[in-house]
Amino acid sequence: MTKVLKRIYLGLILIFLYMPIAVLIVQSFNAGKSRAKWEGVSLHWYIDLFNNTAIMNALWVTLSVALLATIVSTVIGTLAAIGIHSMRKRPQAMMMTLTNLPNTMPDIVTGISLMLLFIFTQVDRGYVTMLLAHITFDTPYVILSVLPKLKQMNKHTYEAALDLGATPRYALLHVLIPECKQGIVTGALLAFTLSLDDFTVSYFTTSPLVQNLSTLIYSATKLGITPIYYALSALMFVVLLLLLLAVNRRTQEN
Domain residue ranges in the chain: 45-253
Backbone angles phi, psi at 41, to 5 degrees: -85, 135
Are the beta carbons of 143 and 80 closer than 8 angstroms? yes
Q: Sign of dihedral through CA atoms 145, 149, 155, 158?
A: negative
Instruction: Tell me the Cα Rg of the chain.
Output: 22
Residues with Cβ within 8 Å of 238's Cβ and at least 6 positions away in sequence, in order, are: none
Q: What pLDDT, in 10s, does the model give residues 70-104? A: 999 999 999 898 888 888 888 888 888 888 887 78
**Considering the entire predicted model, what is its pTM?**
0.81
Q: What pLDDT, in 10s, does the model give residues 92-142? A: 888 888 888 877 888 888 899 999 999 999 888 989 999 999 999 899 999
Task: Please name the CATH architecture into which domain 45-253 falls.
Answer: Orthogonal Bundle (1.10)
DSSP string over 6-31 = HHHHHHHHHHHHHHHHHHHHHHTTBS
Which class for 126: exposed (0-12), middle (13-18), buried (19 or more C-beta within 10 A)?
middle
Q: What pLDDT, in 10s, does the model give residues 16-33? A: 888 888 888 888 888 777
Residue 203 pLDDT greater than 70, yes or no: yes
Q: Tell me the C-alpha distance between 154 and 137, whole Å.
A: 30
In eight-state DSSP terms, residue 33 is S
